[in-house]
Structure 1
């Protein structure tokens, strides 16, 4: 069965919105579930509908498409749609899936959807991050983009996780550790305990401890973190 993606179109120009929606409606695997004309309405619609894809204009009155992403926790795919190509590099810095220049053609949308289907399989939100990606995090104090490679360690606290970043920041997010384990690149991040995932680029040494466990020394941390016997073979093999 073909995957059907829900989509929201965000553009301050009504005619541009309507044209893109007409094009998207030609595809059986896309359902446009909402549209917005500015950042505030887009934020409200996306949070209510949680679409798989947002088609996002960049230059809008008062706030831009990039401003929207800084206010939003969104795990779906971002497709920028702009009249200019000079924002493309910045768009991919925030992990955009695609960048389309207006006026968008039907065959261009078709190619994007084909690539999306091949890359995502059956679940749009379960693709692993790349180590060079930037991810958006939001807690009670901060909303910001973080380079994935700057995350040193993630610790679990029930359904919450605490992220430790290279610059010394700590962020508590409502996201269980299992979700991180499924999304992080497995060649760089390793679970060493039921409550902890580490970035192996920051691991300095392993020290044998009691009952076949290990203490893991991590750059920037004074105290080591414990690695249980259950997970020890994975990390030890990386350093053997």
Structure 2
């Protein structure tokens, strides 16, 4: 099962995160068959995992979901750079469907060697010049490089983190891609939200963040006691409104505490007036 690495392509650097030493040893043993992957560290807790990942900046992390001092999502929230992630979990309560769309792959414990090899093959196929060792047709064109899809991958990881941190409830924070990492944006800090195609801009006093969620989806998920849709392109924080002024056409202009002025369209005006005045 060995996958040789090309002299021109260095091996992928991997870190194994699991609170159980036998589980870490098993992953390390399975990876020893892959010349294209070097294990550069391991950790058994959230805090050690964050320190190890930030220090080594690996290409790949095998990430346990359940740990004594938190979970794998806490690791994702705190690390400085986002590597490829293969989750491992003994429970399916963490929404396997979300894992399938959010991470490179997941391993449901106990897993067989063949399932492990499939997961690793998917990682290798994401990197230029690295064949999937499980591919029955090794002469096919390689899978697209991670480089070309890094933004989409980070957005999917952010979505997965959001689902894990606020399952079914109105969230207190939104997870967004920011540079090479995923960061939480506290909704208490968000003054207004602007539609940006299929994405949304989150505006705070100091920064603007891009969420992979569309403004319609955000409007449905946010706490209606704190946020209101005022236009097809805008959501405002009710606590950020300084005052409303009539626009003489049945709508309003809302002035926010940071000086931003946003139009409240006529169709949203009655509800906004009743909620603010």
**TM-score category of the 2 structures, normalised to the smaller one:** 0.5 to 0.7
Q: Does the 8 Å contact 1:9/1:56 carry over to 2? A: yes
Q: Counterpart of 2:183?
A: 143
TM-score by length of 1: 0.57
Q: Counterpart of 1:164?
A: 201
Which whole-Å deviations, capped at 9, do the CAs of 1:151-184 have from their partners, x for residues lacking one?
845xxxxxxxxx832xx547748x9xxxx9xxx9
Q: Does the 8 Å contact 2:102/2:153 carry over to 1? A: no
Q: Does the 8 Å contact 1:10/1:55 carry over to 2? A: yes
Q: Counterpart of 1:47?
A: 54
Counterpart Cα distance in 2 of 1:95 and 1:51: 18
Q: Does the 8 Å contact 1:6/1:51 carry over to 2? A: yes
Q: Counterpart of 1:24?
A: 31
The answer to whether 1:104 aligns with 2:141 is no
- Match for 1:78 among 80, 85, 92? 85
Indicate the SS of the match to 1:129: helix
Q: Does the 8 Å contact 1:76/1:125 carry over to 2? A: no
Q: Counterpart of 2:233?
A: 219
Q: In structure 1, list runs of 5 or more residues that go unmatched.
A: 154-162, 189-198, 202-217, 224-240
- Identify the range of structure 1 (10-19 vs 89-98) with the bigger mean alpha-carbon deviation: 89-98
Indicate the SS of the match to 1:66: helix
Q: Does the 8 Å contact 1:88/1:99 carry over to 2? A: no
Q: Counterpart of 1:117?
A: 124
Greater gyration radius: 2
Q: Does the 8 Å contact 1:164/1:171 carry over to 2? A: no
Counterpart Cα distance in 2 of 1:87 and 1:219: 33
